[in-house]
Structure 1
Amino acid sequence: MANDSNLINKVKEYLEEHDAPHPIRYLRALVSSPRLSDHFVRGIDTSGLVLVADSFLSEYTMMGDHAQRSYGVALEEWMRIKGGLKEVESFHFTDSSVVRIQVWPFDPAELKLDAMKVAVALTFTDLEMIYESRICGAVDDLLAEYRIDPYPGM
């Protein structure tokens, strides 16, 4: 999992066994996506939460973010707080009162930056990258040092 304390060394060693550029499926064969589920909510205190998904990409690449910021929480924390939140089914794309919560099996705040880059990159599915080329380009930037090709089907 992405919270393995030796993740980056394992990724580098694994990728060295293969010729670059490395298809993202090689990375997915080694590390599972931490994304369990997504929920759009109102009424959450985001102080202390960690940016994930598009919001993380926006911070570390040239990709712009949506009005709804994305934060990651551990499954245990989600189970504790979800009852006090109002989940929303639909909202206007400019409604910044809505927050996207991505549930992970562990607390994303525990990850160092390099591990977080790998973890966030793996939260995007091939279909999401096909549908939104901005995401694919941002993941490409995020993983450039590993010479990983994020383009689906390659």
Structure 2
Amino acid sequence: MFECPNLLMANNQELVKKVKEFLDQHNPPHPIRYLRALVSSPRLSDHFVRGLDPSGLVLVADSFLSEHTMIGDHAQKTYGVSLETWTRMKDELDLVENFHFRDQTVSRIQVWPFNPALLELEAMKIAVALSFTDLEMIYESRVYGAVDDLLSEYKIDAFPGM
């Protein structure tokens, strides 16, 4: 019988150690579903906004991938905030539903259950990788490729197929 490990949040202090220990029990390449079985996605919701002051915020999603892989970013930068921060800031921002794809006055906020700025780089790589859904990686091969590259040291195959 398969013994499923306890599901961890990406801000667990021993995340990288536990991920490596878990993956070492299996022969590589490791399907991304193994990582998803161990660590939950930090992504709670996404919101497009105008009027965001990004000072002190960290890049997540495509914007993080753009900084750490060869993927190009969208015109709208994506910043991660905690649910607590989002609750405080959302009324001060202009929520946007429709905009031109080149409109750089729009930013995307990705809400996480914790402050992503507190993660070390390796934990952030894992968190960002898991923040993408399977459908996003299937429909956007550049995202799949960047996530695959981001997780290469863990010998994880990011393809979300069977």
Tell me the TM-score normalised to structure 2 length: 0.94
Question: Which of residues 112, 117, 121 in structure 2 aligns to 1:113?
Answer: 121
Question: What is aligned with 2:19?
Answer: 11
- 2:102 aligned with 1:103: no
Residue type at the aligned position of 2:23: L
The CA distance in 1 between the partners of 2:161 and 2:142, in whole Å, is 17
- 2:80 aligned with 1:78: no
Aligned length: 154
Give 1:72 shift.
0.1
String of CA shifts for 1:56-83, please: whole Å, max 9, x gaps. 0000000000000000000000000001
Question: Which of residues 54, 59, 64 in structure 2 aligns to 1:56?
Answer: 64
Question: What is aligned with 2:157?
Answer: 149
Structure 2 runs not aligned, ≥5 long: 1-8
Tell me the TM-score normalised to structure 1 length: 0.99
String of CA shifts for 1:8-36, please: whole Å, max 9, x gaps. 00000000011100000000000000000
Give 1:97 shift.
0.3
Q: CA RMSD in A?
A: 0.5
User: Which aligned segments of 4 or more residues in structure 1 are displaced greater than 3 angstroms?
Assistant: none
The CA distance in 1 between the partners of 2:98 and 2:26, in whole Å, is 44
SS in 2 for 1:117: helix
Identical counterparts, % of pairs: 73
Question: What is aligned with 2:47?
Answer: 39
The CA distance in 2 between the partners of 1:111 and 1:83, in whole Å, is 26
